[in-house]
Amino acid sequence: MGTSTVPPLNPEAFDFDASISWLMHCTEGPVPLASLRAVKDVLVLEAQPWRVRWQEDFQGIPAAARKTVAQLMSADAADITLTATTSSALTVIAQAYPWSVGDEVVLPLAEFPSNYWPWQALAGRGVTLRQVPLWDGQVGGAQAWSGRPPTAEDDVEGRLLDALGPSTRILAVSWVRFQDGLCLDLPRLAAGCRQRGVELVVDGIQGCGTLVAQLDGLSAFACGGHKGLLAPQGHGFLWTSPAFRQRLAPAGSWLSVEGAADFRRPSTDFERQWNVDGSRFEQGVPNLLACAALTESLRLLLQAGVSTIADHVKALQMHLLDALSSMPPWRGEAERLIALFAAGRLGSFLPLHHGHRDALAGQAFLDALLAAAKEEGVYLSAREGYLRLAFHGWHGLWEAERLGEFLRRAK
Ligand SMILES: Cc1ncc(COP(=O)(O)O)c(C=O)c1O
């Protein structure tokens, strides 16, 4: 793969300061200027409510958001539910699934908590939660810093599929994991789940926008908008397969039933069916400001093409890994990540592990590194012992080189 030097997203589409390298979309993506303008337009409209048009604005703005999400996901807009967050999307499923006492949910060990608490909350209904270590030596929880990082040889999907038992109803995974950055093979998990009659539910937030999503065989895909999708905090979506959605109890409200927006029919006529599409789970009127922003952010991504962005990100990742492999302190990590990269196991950020330091020393090392980087205008993040370096479509080769030079000096 050649290194692409032309960013597929024009940096001028953002409110960037030229001295800053924002390598933290795995924490929060920058909202493009077009999305800012779209929010302002809706707010100006809402300041003069007599200008709000029922079809075009009140219903049209959320409809455009559903449609654009569907385009991004190569999905049907009827399968999209607008949600506030990843967590609220997963909570819809957890609360709406037809559980029986003794049912089980399986999770990889050490998921981001958005994919833990909604399932744990079912304990009172007799549903158990089982976490499966993805590789020998993986450590989660309070001791997470002391585990070893994954390698290309670790068969994480095999472990998950082997762990599914007769009581397992749902396997819930992150597409790309928030700390170690592993990108799970969703088609393989989907095929294994289908064979075993288990529903596969995915937290997609760390992959969306920088990787091309494949929904085939999935039951549900939950995603907040504020990372790789470049939308503001507090707005996201849930995709559900029609068959899975039918199994879930309606969890929506007044706009989730047939003819709800037709005020010529008395609203208190409760003789109605629940909608069968994704609006079945929506909680009243979606946030119009956030819908408008999400739509614009996704349009920007779609114009560039997510697969083009994904190739660009990979090219920058490989460029940096090549440089790190000639730096003795980073060589081991670079080799581990190059092997993961070649196996297609790396997601939207490079996760450099703190190494053989003990937890305290590792934490101090990463804290110092983040602070020194920030001094130079390079914004990085760390989670559970991994330094996260997140490229996106607007980054240029010069930023990969700048980061390489910074890491060369890091002790
Ligand atoms: C894997 C993962 N899921 C979910 C979230 C965020 O969840 P929510 O959209 O519910 O705030 C994050 C990070 O904030 C994450 O890394």
Q: pLDDT tens digits for 209-260?
A: 999 999 999 999 999 999 999 999 999 999 999 999 999 999 989 999 999 9
Note whether 212 and 359 are same-domain residues.
no
Is 324 part of any domain?
Answer: yes
**279-309 pLDDT, tens per residue?**
999 999 999 999 999 999 999 999 999 999 9
**Per-residue confidence (pLDDT) for residue 4, from 0 to 100:** 55
* Structural domains in the chain (count): 2
Which residue, 255, 274, 303, sits at the end of a domain? 303
Note whether 248 and 145 are same-domain residues.
yes
Mean of pLDDT values over 83-103:
98
Domain of 278 in residue numbering reads as 54-303
Which residue, 242, 276, 303, sits at the end of a domain? 303
Pocket test for ligand 1, best of 25, 86, 227 (most atoms within 8 A of CB): 86
Tokens of 398: 């010069």
Is 124 part of any domain?
Answer: yes
**24-77 pLDDT, tens per residue?**
999 999 999 999 999 999 999 999 999 999 999 999 999 999 999 999 999 999
Going by pLDDT thresholds of 50, 70 and 90, the confidence category of residue 1 is very low
Tokens of 56: 């075009």
Going by pLDDT thresholds of 50, 70 and 90, the confidence category of residue 396 is very high
83: left (phi over 0), alpha (psi -120 to 50) or beta: beta
* Ligand 1 centroid distance, CA of 327 (Å): 33
Q: Which atom of ligand 1 is nearest to the CA of 85?
A: 9
Indicate whether 2 pLDDT > 90.
no
Compute CA distances 326 → 261, 322, 334, 403, whole Å. Answer: 62, 7, 9, 14
Q: Please give the mean pLDDT across all residues of the chain.
A: 96
Measured CA to CA, the distance from residue 289 to residue 231 in angstroms comes to 11
97: left (phi over 0), alpha (psi -120 to 50) or beta: beta
**Per-residue confidence (pLDDT) for residue 18, from 0 to 100:** 87
214: left (phi over 0), alpha (psi -120 to 50) or beta: beta
* Ligand 1 centroid distance, CA of 285 (Å): 23
* Ligand 1 centroid distance, CA of 114 (Å): 6
Going by pLDDT thresholds of 50, 70 and 90, the confidence category of residue 410 is confident
Indicate whether 166 pLDDT > 60.
yes
Note whether 155 and 295 are same-domain residues.
yes
* Ligand 1 centroid distance, CA of 261 (Å): 32
* Residues in contact with ligand 1 (CB, 6 Å cut-off): 85-87, 112, 114, 174, 178, 203, 205-206, 224, 236
Note whether 104 and 155 are same-domain residues.
yes
Indicate whether 347 pLDDT > 60.
yes
* Ligand 1 centroid distance, CA of 224 (Å): 7
